[in-house]
């Protein structure tokens, strides 16, 4: 029996390999990653990046969602996204192979208007 540890779209999979079969356990994510962007103008165009899975995972593609809407299915490790409104948005990425889909890794993005000016005065 061997212990196997792998990264799957940013999540560590820990499993046991017995003979030719393996089972994996995905630990729950902590509170997740949160990014705050001050919007100077909308829409905001950014690129989401992540680390590739190990070659042994035989990933055929990734699926990227913005607020539950699929925005791309790249074979590589990046995907452009466009945010069109202020508020909280969630980007999720899953790895896909012939046997199924991994758990999602998420990134929460808070898009806020710039802070109001302070200390207004005349000269």
pLDDT in tens, 28-70: 444 468 889 888 899 999 999 999 999 999 999 999 999 999 9
pLDDT in tens, 60-114: 999 999 999 999 999 999 999 999 999 999 999 999 999 999 999 999 999 999 8
List the domains of the chain with CATH numbers. 30-112 (2.60.40.10)
Cα-based angle 93, 98, 101 (whole degrees, multiple of 5): 30
- Spatial neighbors of 98 by CB under 8 A, at least 6 apart, are 58, 60
From 14-28, 50-64, 109-123, the region with the lowest mean pLDDT: 14-28
DSSP 88: E
pLDDT of the residue at 118: 84
């Amino acid at each position: 029996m061997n212990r196997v540890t792998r990264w799957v779209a940013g999540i560590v999979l820990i499993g046991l390999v017995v003979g030719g079969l393996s089972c994996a356990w995905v630990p729950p994510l902590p509170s997740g990653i949160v990014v705050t962007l001050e919007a100077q103008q909308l829409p905001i165009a950014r690129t989401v990046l992540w680390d590739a899975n190990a070659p042994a995972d035989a990933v055929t593609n990734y699926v990227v969602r913005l607020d539950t809407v699929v925005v791309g299915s790249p074979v590589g490790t990046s995907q452009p996204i466009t945010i069109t409104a202020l508020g909280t948005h969630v980007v999720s990425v899953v790895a896909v192979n012939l046997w199924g889909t991994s758990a999602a890794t998420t990134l929460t993005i808070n898009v806020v208007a710039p802070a109001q000016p302070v200390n207004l005065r005349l000269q």
